[in-house]
Structure 1
Amino acid sequence: MNIEASGCVANQRGPDRRTRYLAGKALRQIIPRATLAEFAPAANRDPIAIIDETERDRIAFLLPLRRTSMAASPHAFLRGAADVMAADLATQPAPGIRAQVCGDCHLMNFGAFVSPEGHALFDVNDFDETLPDVDVTIDLRRFATSVVVAALGADKSKGAARSMARAAIQAYRLAVTELAALSPLQAWNTRMPLRDVVATLRNRVLHAAAHAATSSRGNEDDCADNFPKVTEDADGACRIEDKPPRLFHFDDNAANQFDVDGLLAAAFTNLPPHVASLLRRYCLSDIAFKAVGVGSVGTYCTIALFLSPDDEPLFLQVKEAKRSALERFGVGAWPGAQGARVVEGQRMMQAASDIFLATMRDPASQREFYMRQLKTRRLGNLTELMQRHDLLDYAKLCGRTLARAHARSADATILAGYMGKSAAFDDALASFAMLYAQQNARDYKAFCAKRDATRAPP
């Protein structure tokens, strides 16, 4: 093996932990932590134009659903306006501590899921905007803002909202400090088991729901709530049950524009041999269109129902991968296929990634896609309950989880040195979040006004 070609240099270990910590601390002289508290919108800022631009190549008949979803609340708008915040963050000062970032780091992009080994974990779980080699404050600013906006939406005072954001960033900082004391391998293998999360829950409703979710003996893909249900057609064939407007079968409309069978076949060839062998034990039974989330509504996304010989279901999702909003506004760059960007980003940030992750390209349009297993709703609903019943503890949990995800690609010791042991970093990010929450409220008001005007009768 050529050690230098692998990225390592023989007999050259690099600076030790103390030297790296001091290097991070020295960055405070270049970008003082207090400067992270600032936000001033650009003079030519036009959030509505940015949103309009993101809708140009989306499925037209789903745009009303997307706009209605974004108009539901300021937090829903924040979720759907990732491009707007990416444009704003591109001009903010940053210390230059780089990592693989989520890119769309808000409270609803964390959650519980079952690992390939069958363990319930809590982790970052959406990577449509992920990008490597990006300053970690990109994620932290959006995360802190999400905490503030969610808190204000839950009728918390401004003071309480700021305190929650500060506590969430403090949880991140303390977790990074703990990870910095570990070896790279130990930090890499750190996980957030849901059983440990359950042990810390104080709310009785949450504790009961979490315990039920983690101890269930049912099928890990039990079909509750918004998770697809399997039904039989007139011929006795198993099909996905329609639940419009978010889950439906293709007809001659604009949604049916790609050869999904061909995409699945292409994904199959990109799976590791052992996973492909597993998938061969299932047979494709049905394909339906699924509008997901808020920001993704209008992008091409299908779910495929596979059945074992004994009719045990496996749901796989095929979703279009566009350029990251961060890249579109110059925050970073990705030279390869967009599906590979999402897949590689998820593998980098998640402690236990989906074994069915694969990339594919539509030969006619050259559009990029990726495949993954559809998550269980049983655990997904638990995430929503945690946010609703104990927002503070949920935000702190997300902060610790984000620290673990960043530490897989960033040098936690340098990051710990920059953030320090005081609350200066926490206070700065909380102050930024308060300022941006005000900007988000103004953008939300403008968005709703335009939506109402376009819907008004002539």
Structure 2
Amino acid sequence: MPTPAHLQYEKRLAAGKARRESCSRTLQAQCLLSPQRDVVDMLRQTSAGRVPSLIPLRYSRMQASPFAFFRGMAMIQAADLAATPNSGITLQTCGDAHLMNYGFFASPERQLMFDINDFDETHQAPWEWDIKRLAVSVVLAARNRGFSNAAARQAVCQLVGTYRKRMQEYAQMSQLELWYCKVGFEQLLQRANSDSIRQQLLKLADKARGQTQEKLLPKMTVLEDGSLRLRDNPPVIFHMQQQDQVWGNDEHWLGDGSSHDLLHTMLAEYSATLKEDRRTLLSRFRLVDAAFKVVGVGSVGTRCLVMLLQDEYDQPLFLQLKEARNSVLEPYTQPCVHGHQGKRVVFGQRLMQAASDLFLGWTTGPGDRHFYVRQLRDMKAAPALESFDSAESLAAFGQACAWALARAHAKSGGRAAEMAGYIGQSDKFDQAIASYAMSYADQVELDFAVFTAALAEHKL
């Protein structure tokens, strides 16, 4: 006789399968565009509120390739996805699940884990929006590396197939099993199907283990007048007193003598968002220095600071304060329910990751700008696009990302059985997403051409 748990599992599978009536898996192949889309106008929208003098640097990084442009403009695909059919199953999504937003980092227990590592756009949304963004990024990465369209499509099919099979497994786990589940370095290494992929994983792991707080100290700091100071490396990292013009007239506080007082206020508010034991740990460090840091592609021009703190033995703690703006998904889903964009990022990260940074929290700066806080580069490492020297290595990394994404969705939504029922066990969903990804990658290349033309014509 079936157990109550099995009956509930079957009921949820059936509910997911029934959702195909309103949005079949074949419909997921449709590549529809927002009727209001205007690429140049969207670029202007995403640049509003950023540090004006850094916007050209942002555009320069996006101009490198269609893949870089895609990374920097999540807003465009968000608008287009909102115009396409979806399964109706919503949950906490990453919001920007492209290929380069996955990598290794250390759990609080110092175990090397593989997971999503960027949650700036996290928000409640249809789960398949994440898988579609990941799939398109794989196609663009394949084209960037000179691989054939056939290889790109195959990589996407393998990626979605991995997601599908993992979701079938997660659908049969209890909620506690899902909560404790993780993708560790050793698990990935055991599943590496070639020596070259295994060597790439080992190289990444070595890089991650070299990114501890202590090992960052000589790379990030210099000794001046007997005190440590963050090393200037413009335009990537610099002290605001040297380039305070980037902040605008209303933010002169970062270039005057009161900056440390203000940062102490921000740190105090941030400390209150930590668990009590971690708040106690933070209290054993003192603020030594702070500098502006330019990060990523899509985040260039947002306010991001690096702070150097030291304990009584002068051992370092590097914290990163990163501005949290509204998620690009918000206009097409629902308003933020957290009352603070930094809290939104922290909530999404804690909910989706298997384990999160010990020092993850949020705070508010001048002008009511919202920030979230985390450690800087704490055993973090991700492959560069150029490291994919074969379609096989790219496909393998895509499958690792799909595994991590499936685990994150199963944990965050608690609806793995319903999702598994919708996806099914055949490759119909895989093929649909692959068709979508190939078509949308073509559209990204057209949008990239519009972007480069606008730059050439000085419209941006």
TM (norm. structure 1) is: 0.90
Q: Give 1:174's match in structure 2, choosing from 134, 152, 165.
A: 165
1:184 corresponding residue in structure 2: 175
Other-structure match for 2:381: 380
Give the conservation status (yes or no) of the 8 Å contact 2:33–2:83. Answer: no
Q: Equivalent residue for 1:367?
A: 369
Alignment of 1:248-287 (within 5 A): 248-251=238-241, 252-255=244-247, 257=251, 259-287=262-290
1:272 Cα offset (Å):
1.6
2:37–2:76 contact (8 Å) kept in structure 1: no
Which 5+ residue runs of structure 2 have no aligned equivalent?
Answer: 255-261
1:309-355 CA-partner distances (Å, limit 9, x unpaired): 2332211111111110000x322331321111001000000000112
CA deviation after TM superposition for structure 1 residue 239, in Å = 1.2
Against the structure 1 CA distance between its residues 71 and 228, is the aligned structure 2 distance closer, same or farther, given a 3 Å change threshold? farther
Structure 2 letter corresponding to 1:277: T
- Amino acid in structure 1 at the alignment position of 2:228: C
SS state at 2:458 partner: helix
Change over 3 Å in CA distance of 1:219–1:129 after alignment to 2: closer
Preserved contact between residue 100 and residue 382 of structure 2 (Cα < 8 Å): no
1:255–1:289 Cα contact (<8 Å) kept: no
Q: Identify the match of residue 9 of structure 2 among 3, 9, 17.
A: 17
Deviations 1:67-116 (A, max 9, x none): 00100111100000111111111111001112110001100111100111
Native 8 Å contact 2:145 2:388 kept in 1? no
- Report the secondary structure of 2:371's partner residue: strand
Q: Secondary structure at the match of 1:360?
A: strand
**One-letter code of the match for 1:240?**
L
Picking from 196, 212, 215, the partner of 1:220 is 212
Per-residue CA shift, 1:111-137, capped at 9, x if unaligned? 1001110000000110000013x1101
Paired residue for 1:240? 230
Query: Which residue pairs with 1:453 in the alignment?
Result: 457
Is contact 2:145–2:386 with CA below 8 Å preserved after alignment? no
Partner of 1:7: none
> Which residue identity lines up with residue 276 of structure 1 in the other structure?
R
Q: What amino acid sits opposite 1:84 in the alignment?
A: I
Match of 1:33 in 2: 25
Distance change >3 Å, CA 366–CA 379, structure 1 → 2 = closer
Structure 1 residues 18, 155: closer, same or farther in 2, change over 3 A?
Answer: same
Contact 1:359 1:371 in 2 (8 A): yes
Distance in 2, matches of 1:177 and 1:300, equals: 41
Aligned length: 439
More helix by share: 2
Aligned to 1:138: 129
Does residue 211 of structure 1 match 2:214? no
The amino acid of 1:191's aligned partner reads: K
Equivalent residue number for residue 432 of structure 2: 428
1:237 maps to a residue whose letter is S
Helix, strand or coil: the match of 2:358?
coil
Q: Contact 1:283–1:306 at 8 Å: present in 2 too?
A: yes
Deviation at residue 383 of structure 1 after TM alignment: 6.6
TM-superposition CA deviations, 1:164-198 (whole Å, max 9, x none): 11111111111100111111111121100112212
Paired residues of 1:213 and 1:379 also in contact (CA < 8 A): no
Identity across aligned pairs (percent)? 38
The AA in structure 2 aligned to 1:245 is: P
Residues in 2 aligned to 1:385 and 1:114: alpha-carbon distance in whole angstroms? 24
What residue number does 1:330 align with?
Answer: 332
Does the 8 Å CA contact 2:104/2:205 hold for their aligned counterparts? no
User: Does 1:442 find its partner at 2:446?
Assistant: yes
**Aligned residue runs from structure 1 range 313-328, under 5 A:** 313-327=316-330
Q: Find out whether 1:63 has 2:64 as its counterpart.
A: no
- 1:270 partner SS: coil
- Answer yes or no: is 1:394 the counterpart of 2:397: yes
Residue among 22, 45, 69 paired with 1:53: 45
2 CA distance for matches of 1:228 and 1:403? 36
Q: Is the 8 A contact 1:287 1:305 kept in 2?
A: yes
| Contact residue 111 and residue 383 of structure 1 kept, 8 A | no
**Would the alpha carbon gap of residues 386 and 353 (structure 1) be closer, same or farther in structure 2, given more than 3 Å must change?**
farther
TM-superposed deviation, 1:218: 6.0
How many Å apart are 1:148 and its aligned residue?
0.8
CA separation in 2, counterparts of 1:294 and 1:83?
Answer: 13
* TM-aligned CA distance change 1:42 to 1:347, over 3 Å: closer
Match of 1:345 in 2: 348
Q: 1:217 to 1:420 in 2, by over 3 A?
A: closer
Q: Does the Cα contact within 8 Å between 2:27 and 2:85 map onto a contact in 1? A: yes
Q: 1:58 to 1:217 in 2, by over 3 A?
A: closer
CA distance in 2, matches of 1:208, 1:448: 37
**How far apart are residue 154 of structure 1 and its match?**
1.0
CA RMSD of aligned residues (A): 2.4
Provide closer, same or farther for how the CA distance between residues 34 and 382 of structure 1 changes in structure 2, counting only shifts above 3 A: closer
Deviates more, 1:68-77 or 1:249-258: 249-258
Structure 2 vs 1, CA of residues 206 and 163 (structure 1 numbering), >3 Å: closer, same or farther? closer
- Contact kept, 8 Å, 2:236 with 2:294, in 1: the verdict is yes
Distance apart, 1:207 and its partner CA: 3.2
Deviation, 1:40, is 2.7
How far is the alpha carbon of 1:43 from its aligned partner? 4.2
Q: Distance in 2 between matches of 1:13 and 1:186?
A: 15
**Would the aligned equivalents of 1:223 and 1:229 in 2 still touch at CA under 8 Å?**
no
CA gap of 1:224–1:384, structure 2 versus 1, over 3 A, is: farther
CA deviations 1:225-259 (Å, max 9, x no partner) are: 9x9522111x1211111121111111232338353
